[in-house]
Amino acid sequence: MCQLLAMTSKNPADIRFSLTGFRRRGGLTDDHIDGFGIAYFQPTGLRLYYDDQSAIDSPIAEMVSAMTIKANHTLVHIRKSDDSLLKNAHPFVRELWGEPWVFMHNGKMTIADMPDNDPIKQQASQHSTRYYQPIGDTDSEYAFCYLLNQLKDNFTQKPDHDTLNAFLTTQCRFLSTYGIFNCLLCNGDWLLAYANTLLFYVTRQAPFAQATLIDADVTMDFAQTNHDDDVITILATTPLTSDEHWQQLAVNECLIFQNGQIIHQDLPKPAIHLSIKTGLEIAKSA
Amino acid sequence: MCQLLAMTSKNPADIRFSLTGFRRRGGLTDDHIDGFGIAYFQPTGLRLYYDDQSAIDSPIAEMVSAMTIKANHTLVHIRKSDDSLLKNAHPFVRELWGEPWVFMHNGKMTIADMPDNDPIKQQASQHSTRYYQPIGDTDSEYAFCYLLNQLKDNFTQKPDHDTLNAFLTTQCRFLSTYGIFNCLLCNGDWLLAYANTLLFYVTRQAPFAQATLIDADVTMDFAQTNHDDDVITILATTPLTSDEHWQQLAVNECLIFQNGQIIHQDLPKPAIHLSIKTGLEIAKSA
């Protein structure tokens, strides 16, 4: 499976501290070596680079590690799969309502094994009149196209935040029934994080402390690099630092961030259990 | 205006000789400094990189200049405009029929000045139910979205080569009525070149000779770098070498290349002139 990293911040910020540790999981501290991709939502537009090489070997990963690129949302993916084809490299991007939507996935789904009339598998039909079709052959891209086609089918223009958030949560819950589905989705305005099994986040804001990477012997004092009004949230498949409190998302929890902060949280409804009423409750209901 | 460069070849080939000269037009020998972009159609997928910096200063341009990347089709763009916004960087890419379609434009169109009900300007309507909408604000991307929407409206699946070639030629002719419209369009299978005013090409095949760049003091002997069965065509806004025969496309000519060779050529019909019949013709028609 792959690993995900993202940063959402109030003011454009540099992801390189997190990237230093995360990149090492692409060949040094872990074996996610089948591709690397990074998407920056900068104030002037989307900057998206990907490679079929591992994060450790990729010249693109090396280049961005040497550059100061400040963005409000940054998404990074290291891939572990049966192939390292360029067409299957994350993040995936499609235009929706005049915006670039960027998607990346961690998990294992079973769309390829589904019958041809499966609603997600149908995205790739050669006779499809759908808006979006996969270019590669990953379950991840099938899921992304399904999500976008559902949006385009249901809304002729971008709906309000609450409607969109609820719709996206419902669709992610549906997709998670196809297997393991942890994803990050961003349109430059907000960042959606959906955890089916494994996703953590930490928010950094004043008073800033320092943190030490797990995958590299690097410590950073955020008080030296941030302004008092900065708010930065980092999301990752597993924590990147050893001395911060990383919050794990609940199973099938959906969080949406804007300016580094949570603007939408949707926890799944608890399963319904038969309960034995207490004497008091029986008395009340009688 | 911008400048265009492309390579189409029978076997995957390295564009760096041409790129060495072309890149210098992005800040040294010419002033196309408002962005750089490059798209490689490799056997395993599309590799697309772009930057808001000039080709001379861009770390991306520097990186690809140091890498051996072999591709069947490569497209390069250096931009000259009133802005250097990332969202307006060429090449543009959209998925159509499960393929990545890459487009770049040289010229100056007048779409922004058109009324809102203009068929091309309508692509960007917020209430649009169209398949494709522009993300940036260039006439180039408007034109690309118009072209793709026309394709999606007229064909539910990819038509045969002849039908597609004729349709694309007609659409390019229509777009050229909006101003100066020189473009390159590629889906990885073929490369379309449309010249409204300015576009040249040269085909290199056995017996291979040598060539010297115009913009840099570099000579290459293609006999040393190519196999006998290689066929490579280079297209550029203006010739890149001083000692080869570059063929200029005619006004409103459309060429489509596959494996380095022309598979479709469409010259505009000559204008109709009233003619005075000769005595012989009058005799024949009588």
Put simply, whether A59 touches B (Cβ < 8 Å) is yes
Angle at A112 between CA A106 and CA A115, to 5 degrees: 135
Is residue A188 very low, low, confident or very high in pLDDT (cuts 50, 70, 90)? very high
Is the confidence at residue B283, as pLDDT, over 70? no
Is the confidence at residue B235, as pLDDT, over 60? yes
The reply to whether residue B86 touches residue A124, judged by beta carbons under 8 angstroms, is no
Q: How far is CA B101 from CA A63, A101, B151, B258, in A?
A: 26, 17, 12, 15
Structure confidence at residue B116 (pLDDT)? 83
pTM, whole model, 2 decimals?
0.93
Structure confidence at residue A270 (pLDDT)? 74
The reply to whether residue B156 touches residue A127, judged by beta carbons under 8 angstroms, is yes
The reply to whether residue B85 touches residue A45, judged by beta carbons under 8 angstroms, is yes
Residues in chain B closer than 8 A to A132 (CB atoms)? 95
Interface test with A, best of B41, B79, B95 (most A CBs within 10 A): B95
The ipTM (two decimal places) reads 0.92
The reply to whether residue A95 touches residue B133, judged by beta carbons under 8 angstroms, is yes
Mean pLDDT (chain A) is 92
Structure confidence at residue B271 (pLDDT)? 61
Tokens 């005619």 identify what position? B250
Residues in chain B closer than 8 A to A136 (CB atoms)? 45
Q: Give me the total of CB pairs closer than 8 Å, taking one residue from chain A and one from chain B.
A: 91
Is the confidence at residue A9, as pLDDT, over 90? yes
Q: Are strands A191-195 and A182-186 parallel, antiparallel or unpaired?
A: antiparallel
**Residues A230-261: b if buried by 16+ CB within 10 A, e if exposed:** bbbbbbbbebbbeebeeeebeebbbbbbbbbe
Residues in chain A closer than 8 A to B60 (CB atoms)? 49, 63
Structure confidence at residue A269 (pLDDT)? 80
The secondary element (H helix, E strand) that includes residue B63 is helix B59-65
Is the confidence at residue B268, as pLDDT, over 60? yes
CA distance A70 to A5: 16
Q: What is the pLDDT of residues A191-201, one digit of tens each?
A: 999 999 999 99
Put simply, whether A87 touches B (Cβ < 8 Å) is yes
Structure confidence at residue A271 (pLDDT)? 62
The reply to whether residue B88 touches residue A45, judged by beta carbons under 8 angstroms, is yes
The residue of chain A with its CA nearest to that of B67 is: A59
Full 3-state SS string of chain A: CCEEEEEEEEEEEECHHHHHHHHHCECCCCECCCCEEEEEEECCEEEEEEECCCCCCCHHHHHHHCCCCEEEEEEEEECCCCCCCHHHCCCEEEEECCEEEEEEEECCECHHHCCCCCCCHHHHCCCCCCCCCCCCCCHHHHHHHHHHHHHHHHCCCCCCHHHHHHHHHHHHHHHHHHECCEEEEECCCCEEEEECCCCEEEEEECCCCEEEECCCCCEEEHHHHCCCCCEEEEEECCCCECCCCCEECCCCEEEEEECCEEEEEECCCCCCCCCCCCHHHHHHHC
Is the confidence at residue A284, as pLDDT, over 80? no
Is residue A24 very low, low, confident or very high in pLDDT (cuts 50, 70, 90)? very high
Structure confidence at residue A279 (pLDDT)? 47
Tokens 């265009």 identify what position? B4
Q: Higher confidence at residue A125 or residue A32?
A: A32
Q: What is the mean pLDDT of residues B129-133?
A: 85
Closest by Cα among B16, B59, B194, B247 to A47: B59
Closest by Cα among A97, A25, A95 to A61: A25
CA distance B106 to B182: 5
Structure confidence at residue A236 (pLDDT)? 98
Tokens 């994350």 identify what position? A90
Put simply, whether B245 touches A (Cβ < 8 Å) is no
A171 near A147, Cβ under 8 Å?
yes
Q: What is the mean pLDDT of residues A204-216?
A: 97
Name which of A78-92, B14-28, B117-131 the model is least confident about: B117-131
Q: What is the pLDDT of residues A75-129, one digit of tens each?
A: 999 999 999 999 999 999 999 999 999 999 999 998 878 888 888 887 767 656 6
Nearest CB neighbour to A86, from listed B45, B87, B124: B45
Residue window 131-190, chain A: list those with CB within 8 Å of chain B.
131-136, 156-157
Name which of A180-189, A257-266, B117-126 the model is least confident about: B117-126
Q: What is the mean pLDDT of residues B208-215?
A: 98
Put simply, whether B198 touches A (Cβ < 8 Å) is no
Q: What is the mean pLDDT of residues B24-31?
A: 95
Is the confidence at residue B282, as pLDDT, over 70? no
The reply to whether residue A46 touches residue B89, judged by beta carbons under 8 angstroms, is no
Annotated active-site residue B183? The verdict is no
Structure confidence at residue B279 (pLDDT)? 47
Q: What is the pLDDT of residues B63-112, one digit of tens each?
A: 999 999 999 999 999 999 999 999 999 999 999 999 999 999 999 998 87
The secondary element (H helix, E strand) that includes residue B60 is helix B59-65
Q: Which amino acid is at B73?
A: H
The reply to whether residue B45 touches residue A136, judged by beta carbons under 8 angstroms, is yes
Nearest CB neighbour to A134, from listed B84, B98, B136: B98
Structure confidence at residue A170 (pLDDT)? 97
A178 near A196, Cβ under 8 Å?
no
Nearest CB neighbour to A59, from listed B44, B50, B63: B63
CA of A87 vs chain B CAs: smallest distance (Å):
4
Interface test with A, best of B70, B135, B149 (most A CBs within 10 A): B135
Structure confidence at residue B127 (pLDDT)? 58
CA of B128 vs chain A CAs: smallest distance (Å):
7
Q: Percent of chain A scored above 70 by pLDDT?
A: 92
CA distance A162 to A155: 13
Q: What is the mean pLDDT of residues B147-176?
A: 95
Q: What is the pLDDT of residues B35-71, one digit of tens each?
A: 999 999 999 999 999 999 999 999 999 999 999 999 9
Structure confidence at residue A283 (pLDDT)? 47
Structure confidence at residue B273 (pLDDT)? 55
Closest by Cα among B84, B74, B13, B18 to B49: B74
B204 near B232, Cβ under 8 Å?
yes
A235 near A207, Cβ under 8 Å?
no
Put simply, whether B98 touches A (Cβ < 8 Å) is yes
Structure confidence at residue A272 (pLDDT)? 59
Q: Residue B109 CB: number of other CB atoms within 10 A?
A: 22
The reply to whether residue A157 touches residue B127, judged by beta carbons under 8 angstroms, is yes
CA distance B87 to B78: 15
CA distance A132 to B131: 9
The reply to whether residue A87 touches residue B129, judged by beta carbons under 8 angstroms, is no
The reply to whether residue A87 touches residue B60, judged by beta carbons under 8 angstroms, is no
Is the confidence at residue A28, as pLDDT, over 60? yes
CA of B200 vs chain A CAs: smallest distance (Å):
30
The residue of chain A with its CA nearest to that of B137 is: A98
In chain B, the largest separation of any two C-alpha atoms, in whole Å, equals: 73
Nearest CB neighbour to A126, from listed B42, B52, B157: B157
Nearest CB neighbour to B85, from listed A44, A94, A124: A44
CA of B77 vs chain A CAs: smallest distance (Å):
16
Structure confidence at residue A1 (pLDDT)? 78
Q: What is the mean pLDDT of residues B185-210?
A: 98
Is the confidence at residue B1, as pLDDT, over 80? no
Structure confidence at residue B121 (pLDDT)? 82
Structure confidence at residue B286 (pLDDT)? 39
CA distance B152 to B98: 12
The reply to whether residue B46 touches residue A94, judged by beta carbons under 8 angstroms, is no
CA of B159 vs chain A CAs: smallest distance (Å):
11
